[in-house]
Structure 1
Amino acid sequence: MNNAAPASVHPHRTPETGEAPARRGGRLALLAAGLLTLIVLGSAVHLTQGTASLDAWDVLGFVFGVGTDGPAAVVVESRLPRLLAAILVGVALGVAGAVLQSVARNIMASPDTLAVDAGAHLAVVAVAAFGISLPLLGAAGIAFAGGLAAAVLVLGLSGTGGTGIVRLVLAGTAIALAMVAVTRVLLLLFAQETRGLFAWGAGSLGQNGLSGVTTLAPVVGVALLCLFAMSRRLDLVYLGDDHARALGVHVGRIRAAAILLAVMLAAAAVTVAGPIGFVGLAAPALARLLTNAVPGLHRHAALIPVSAALGVTLLLGADVLLRAMIGSQSALEIPTGVVTTILGAAFLMLLARNIRITSRPAEPPSAGARGGVGVVRYRVVLGTLIVATLGVLASAVLLGDTKLLLGDIGNWLAGQAGPIVSNVMDTRAPRVLAALLAGAALALAGSLIQSVARNPLAEPGIIGVSGGASLGAVTVITLVPGIGFWAQAGFAGLGAALATAIVFALAAKGGFASERLVLIGFGVQAATQALVTLLIALSDPWNETKALTWLGGSTYGRSFEHLVPMALVLLVMVPLLVRARGELDLLSVDDETPRVLGVNVPRTRLLMLAGAALLTGAAVAGIGVIAFVGLVAPHAARAIVGRRHARMLPVAALLGAVLVCLADTIGRTVIAPGQLPAGLTTAIIGAPYFVWLLYRSRKHAG
């Protein structure tokens, strides 16, 4: 464990400014006064926003006890609970993020990146799905248990040494994706029992009276008092374990207590308003960035209240901005968490672009893989995979809500099948082929991205390429109802290309560090998913149904027309990859080796990234967003046949095809005639494998 404060976060040391203590304290007081002024002004504006015609004078009249009962009722029953919820949640998330960053010694730690929000949401939905009704404090306790389990798992995988920034984000992202997938499965299977929890899961400040705020405010208050009492010991723990132990601090107990209190705060926030994205990351990170300019802010006695005030300012500002831009009536349909996620993702990308990367360079995707296998063994592996692919293909065609026999397939191929078999095959065959093609395309895209980024844990979903494709597709579906499939596919490809360009352009600063690429990609992915949610919320119900098919990664309703873009892109990319296999081997090692051997590194990298964007866009256009295939298939292929792309790429393509086809078959059969989207199934399957990869590679963490 690294016992020093991370270089990426300003250490808690008072800068030698030469200023008088009073002047240094004056800066802190000025910051506190400024934040308090912003909160007061924001609260005043917030109370004037709503669907009822209530202006600032009416609100002032209510405050001073002058006015009619009508305005008073609106403020008390509607606007005041929303305002108090924003203040309570902002305080809870800001402080929770500050404490988690301190105990992890990692500026990227937050309830979002530690999957606390996702774990709390899953726990609440799981209890509701099984018909258990709990009081508000009971629901908060369930959310606390789920959030704590997620945080412990993520911190166990990433460590608390302060240098595992990328590992923490990757572990949190993977675990959060798996938990979100399980949550959505429960929402689908128990739609009646979990009614209303889907919208709540996006993060909304809307309240039914003051009961939620008044019930959980004491919980937040007790947690804050405990953290204030621990503030001096948190200062010492943040500076380093050895330093803290030398001064008599029991590091393990303080860290455990701080994590428990931080998760308690995050669980209270989730119970009141659902998962509100990125406030717990942005608020304390902004506070830490101000420590050099505001002496004294490095101490937790000041850092905690300033982070709380910044959390309130960000959340309140996002809610005011949302209702000012689109109107109070329209804002009722838009979760506030969508706005905070968009703003927070932009802040994360800016932070990642300028952060000092202190961890060791990421191992190339070939690291730890076999040096290669013999020709005979490779042919055996390839032949076995081809047979397995054909077997999965046959099983996928035969299984479903209607079971078929091999003879039925033969009759259908010969054009002699009856109407029942023909109807089933006309809908099932394109679904199966779509899953195969999409799996192969995503596996090849993941292989290219991992080679170019030289990061074995990168994949189209994690670095934002899939999110860009889904945003492009959903945008055109929402804005141009009834648009044809080819236009949808084109916009999906354009979205993937734009997301790829943004990620790699921003990551180019500082020598194209793969750690920076992953962090920026995470921000792009979060922003695109929030924008997709925003578009869906603003669209009419018909467009909402169409758009959600992209997000679930479902093959439902696919026809042979939907296969054409994937088939065309694969036909173009396969010969290109065969020709570039040697360049990919060199590019996955470093930049200097291919340059010395005459490879044009920028041109090759651009070409491979364009190919990955095309493959991802075609797959998303075909069946929607599928998680983890672009990570699991290439990694498994390298483990089986080695690092050479001439052998790894075809094996990865076959593994990806098998994985998606198998996931689609499971989704169509386990709850038939109901169906689970293939994307949720691959997330549930792929996340444990990803977690295992992170666990196995802990010794490589910098």
Structure 2
Amino acid sequence: MSVPVLTPAPPATPLGRLGAAGVFLIAVAATVLVAAVHVTQGTSSVGALDLLALLFDGASGGSEEAARVLLASRLPRLLAGVTVGCALGVAGSLLQSIARNPMASPDTLAVSSGAHLTIVTAAAFGLTLPLPVSGGLALFGGLAAAALVMAMSAGGRSGTTRLILAGSATAMALHSLTSLVMILFEEETTGLYAWGSGSLVQGDLRAVTQFGPVIAVAMAAAILAGPRLDILGLGDDTASVLGVHVRRLRLWLTLLAIVLAAAAVTVAGPIGFVGLCAPVIVRLLPRSIPGLHRHRSLLPLSGVAGVLIVLGSDIALRAVMGAQAGVEVPPGVVTTLLGAGAMVWLARRYRDAGPTRRPPAARIGSTRSRAAFLAVAGTLAALLAGALVLGLLAGDRWLLTGDVLNWLQGRTSRGLTFVLDQRYPRVLAAVLAGAALAVAGTAVQAVCRNPLAEPGVLGVTAGAGVGAISLLTMAPVAGIWAMTGAAGAGALTAFGLVYGLAWRGGLSSDRLVLIGIAVQYACTSLTVLIIVKADPWNTALALTWLSGSTYGRVPAQLIPVALALLLAVPLLAWLRRDLDLLSLDEDSPRILGVSLEPVRLTALAGAVLLTATAVSAVGVVAFVGLVAPHAARAMVGARTARVLPVAALLGALLVSLADTLGRTVIAPAQVPAGLVTALIGTPYFVYLLWRARAHAEGSS
């Protein structure tokens, strides 16, 4: 007869003895303390002692000024922070539980971006809408964006990488649309650029009093559904057996999360990554605390953690940068930096199954003949030549081919000569930058073994943008080589950070992509900070440059990107066989004697050089490094020797046509080329993710 062995219970920790209710009370007490500190900060001379006097003496005598400041400015700001923090914390916790993915949040599912776009669009058309209608518009935008992301990523259950890639791509496209609206309607949307990163500045309590009850009801409904969420965490099949209607529950809870996120955007703009950080912080608390990780405790604690993050970020911002920074600098800058750190931590901790690697389209045509390759390359070269001519002819003033021929021979009038002298650097800049970004994307995809990666996904493009925009705001008349150097320094810094953080006993492509996206968000946040601090009311120049524009380019600006192409393309062509082996798996190159790390570093260094020079030439252009290499593989097969020239031709053709379209579609106004490529590239990206999902489901 066997004797059962009793395993001793783990030692009780102080928090464990308190229980979930005790932890919640401590969190609430901490929130009250932080709120007390928050209300003492501001641009006026009213300090903590004045507020204490108001508390004990009432609004009499010298306390009248303190009462006015408290009611008109500080209390609305404090309550906005509390409202938004609660809403985003609970929304993020709901989305993470629904998707069973620790990186799901209103930001990674593009909810905030969709809501932001609808509000900016309403402002652009001069619509002064009551707050409930604005909230409804925000809800519609957030719901549409989240539905698209969740559909592309199979509800987030098929892998962290695909969820984050789908959300980031959708957010990028929506951000491009938002930037386009703000550029075309600059006067109507003045001040909305900074608001796009969140703002706690409130003129009164109207927004809080109207949306506070909505948020409270949605939070209460979510908490009441907590037991069913606990059952859902056991798995869909188990939950169904236990009587939970899984699909209906997931739908309603997703709607609740989107209502919370949309309400938060309406009150204070899209404050980034609170919905990611708050639940992560709560989930890190010890599991030995009874009942803490059940959703009836987890959800309200996530809301309190969200309040602490929002108010703490606002306090830190004003403590470090001064009281005026609370007006000028959005608190979302700080919360996004915190969120980027949380994403890096999660990416280093969690392993992904990699369902986005090598979808079927990536292997199409691996045995295409040489004749087919030459036919494709010749056709693309002819199309690119036609695009060059079209770029010279099109614009706010259409020209004839005879005018171009006369200009080449020096026989045009002064007016035509001026027009073509302005156009040809723009046309060549678009062609060279497009080719550089496409070649860089080819190298990044080969190293990452992920056809959905690109230099922007690895944070390189955003890093180059930080470097260049820093120089642009500090020295607007800086030289071409200084701009190239600043962009290169930013790109190299971002690349070094991503590569170093992604290295953990080896280089995982999924980890590289996730950390790259985190660094991309951080760099974008820093860019917002730089622009807002430099001149918050004159952001058109920087915003246009960040959207990828060839406006005002001169021939000397073409030299850096041309030199980069001359250096990097032969280098990558020399490494073509090693890159082919790298794109297969981790073991084949080692067996055949390929030194993995030197090849990876060399290829990625070439990609960084190409991206930095392209950004210095035309600004930030999205999706070219994704679309061109993938389309090239579909046309001529997966061999790097063939993909490189075809991708370069496709990238040059895409950016050239985007630039021409942007210069002519609403002439004399112009749409930056980067916005056009983002709007073209996003549907293709959606198609790639859908194909990857279908293949993953078909093989399971």
Shorter-chain-normalised TM-score: which range? over 0.9
C-alpha distance 375-356 of structure 1, shift in aligned 2 (>3 A): closer
1:324 to partner: Cα distance: 0.3
- Is residue 63 of structure 1 aligned with residue 59 of structure 2? no
Cα separation, partners in 2 of 1:688 and 1:361, compared to 1, 3 Å: closer
Determine if the alignment matches structure 1 residue 273 to structure 2 residue 289.
Answer: no
TM-score (norm 1): 0.94
CA–CA distance in structure 1, aligned partners of residues 451 and 57 of structure 2 = 64
The correspondence for 1:472, drawn from 467, 483, 500, is 467
| Cα separation, partners in 2 of 1:472 and 1:285, compared to 1, 3 Å | same
Structure 1 counterpart of 2:82: 87
Counterpart Cα distance in 1 of 2:501 and 2:15: 38
1:209 maps onto 2:204 in alignment: yes
**1:552 offset after TM fit, Å?**
1.4
Aligned in 2, Cα 1:602/1:366: closer, same or farther, shift over 3 Å?
farther
Does 2:521 align with 1:526?
yes
CA distance in 1, matches of 2:438, 2:250: 40
TM-score by length of 2: 0.95
**Deviates most, 455-464 or 534-543:** 534-543
The corresponding residue for 1:700 is 696
The reply to whether residue 123 of structure 1 matches residue 118 of structure 2 is yes
Q: Which structure 2 residues correspond to residues 546-695 of structure 1 after superposition, within 5 A?
A: 546-695=541-690
Partner of 2:3: none
| Corresponding letter in the other structure for 1:211 | R
1:373 maps to 2:368 = yes
Q: Deviations over 1:33-85 (max 9, x none)?
A: 33223211211111111111111111122234535211100011001100000
Farther-moved stretch of structure 1 (53-62 vs 364-373): 364-373
* Distance of aligned partners of 1:548 and 1:153 in 2 relative to their CA distance in 1, 3 Å threshold: closer
Q: Distance in 2 between matches of 1:359 and 1:601?
A: 20
Q: Is the 8 A contact 1:503 1:521 kept in 2?
A: yes
Q: What SS does the aligned partner of 2:328 have? A: coil
Q: Report the counterpart of residue 54 of structure 1 in structure 2.
A: 46
| Counterparts of 2:15 and 2:548, CA distance in 1 | 58
Secondary structure at 1:160's aligned position in 2?
helix
Give the structure 2 partner of residue 162 of structure 1.
Answer: 157
Measured after TM superposition, the shift of residue 23 of structure 1 is 7.6
Task: Tell me how far apart the structure 1 counterparts of residues 13 and 569 of structure 2 sit (CA, whole Å).
Answer: 67
| Residues 1:396 and 2:396 aligned together | no
Seen in structure 2, the aligned counterparts of structure 1 residues 364 and 147 have a Cα distance that, compared at 3 Å, is closer
Seen in structure 2, the aligned counterparts of structure 1 residues 345 and 189 have a Cα distance that, compared at 3 Å, is: same
1:43 corresponds, among 24, 35, 40, to 35
2-structure distance, mates of 1:611, 1:161: 33
2:26 aligns with 34
Letter in 2 for 1:56: A
1:31 is paired with a residue whose SS is: helix
SS in 2 for 1:631: helix
Deviation at residue 376 of structure 1 after TM alignment:
1.2
> Are 2:313 and 1:318 equivalent residues in the alignment?
yes
CA–CA distance in structure 2, aligned partners of residues 323 and 148 of structure 1: 34
Q: Distance in 2 between matches of 1:637 and 1:230?
A: 49
Deviation at 1:233, TM superposition (A): 0.6
Change (3 A) 1:213 1:662: same
Stretch moving more, 149-158 or 666-675: 149-158
C-alpha separation between the residues in 2 aligned to 1:370 and 1:293? 55
How much does 1:289 deviate? 2.3
Q: Deviations over 1:106-135 (max 9, x none)?
A: 111100011000111112223333444321
% identical aligned pairs? 53
Mean Cα deviation higher: 619-628 or 161-170 = 161-170
Deviates more, 1:638-647 or 1:532-541: 532-541
CA contact (8 A) 2:218 2:260 kept: yes
Code of the aligned partner of 1:222:
V
SS at match of 1:697: helix
8 Å CA contact 2:317, 2:325 repeated in 1? no
Q: Counterparts in 2 of 1:92-491, with a 5 A limit? A: 92-160=87-155, 162-292=157-287, 294-359=289-354, 362-363=357-358, 367-491=362-486
Deviation at 1:190, TM superposition (A): 3.1
Work out the CA distance in 2 between the residues paired with 1:291 and 1:103. Answer: 22
CA shift, 1:18, in A, is 4.9
Q: Indicate if the aligned counterparts of 1:143 and 1:271 stay in contact, CA closer than 8 A.
A: yes
Cα offset for 1:293? 5.0
Structure 1 unaligned residues grouped into runs of 5+: 1-14
Matched pairs, number: 688
- Give 2:696's aligned amino acid: H
CA distance in 2, matches of 1:179, 1:551: 15
Over the aligned positions, Cα root-mean-square deviation in angstroms equals 2.1
Tell me how far 1:368 sits from its aligned partner. 3.0
- Change in CA separation of 1:21 and 1:328 when aligned onto 2, cut-off 3 Å: closer
Deviates more, 1:83-92 or 1:138-147: 138-147
Instruction: Tell me, yes or no, if the aligned pair for 1:126 and 1:186 is still in contact at 8 Å.
Output: yes
My pick for the range that moved more, 637-646 or 172-181, is: 172-181
Deviation of the 1:163 alpha carbon: 4.3
Q: Deviations over 1:121-178 (max 9, x none)?
A: 1122233334443210111011111111111111111123634111110111111111
On the 8 A contact 1:291/1:298 being kept in 2, the answer is no
Q: Is the 8 A contact 1:392 1:661 kept in 2?
A: yes
Distance 2:353 2:283 in 1: 18
Distance in 2 (CA, whole Å) between partners of 1:610 and 1:103 is 39
